[in-house]
Amino acid sequence: MSVSPVSPTRLRLDLLDPMEVSSLGGIELVTQGIVEGFLTGLHRSPRRGFSVEFAEHRMYQPGDELRYVDWKILARNDRLFVKQFEEETNLRAMIVLDTSKSMDWSGAPDARLTKLAYAKRLIAAAALVLLRQRDATGMITFDDAVRTITPPRARMSHWQTLLRVLGALTPGIGTVAAPALQRVIDHLRRRGLVIFVSDLLCDRDLVLKALRFLRHRGHQVVVLHVMDPAEVALSGPAEARYEDPESGASITVRPQDWAHLYRRTVERAVLEWRLACRRHAIAYERITTDVPFGTALRQALVRSAAVT
Residue 150 has pLDDT above 90, yes or no: yes
Alpha-carbon gap, residue 171 to 104, rounded angstroms: 6
Alpha-carbon gap, residue 58 to 83, rounded angstroms: 7
Alpha-carbon gap, residue 52 to 55, rounded angstroms: 9
The residue ranges of every structural domain in the chain are 8-41, 51-87, 91-306
Tens-place pLDDT, residues 205-236: 999 999 999 999 999 999 999 999 999 998 87
Distance of CA 35 to the CA centre of its chain: 13
* Spatial contact of 245 and 105, defined as CB atoms under 8 Å apart: yes
More confident residue, 63 or 268: 268
Tens-place pLDDT, residues 39-86: 887 744 444 333 444 445 667 666 666 766 777 777 777 777 776 554
Question: What CATH number was assigned to the domain covering residues 91-306?
Answer: 3.40.50.410
Assign 245 a pLDDT band (cuts: 50, 70, 90): confident
More confident residue, 252 or 295: 295
Alpha-carbon gap, residue 216 to 228, rounded angstroms: 31
Assign 307 a pLDDT band (cuts: 50, 70, 90): low
Tens-place pLDDT, residues 82-98: 765 544 446 899 999 99
Give me the percent of the chain exceeding a pLDDT of 90. 65
Q: Tell me the pTM.
A: 0.82
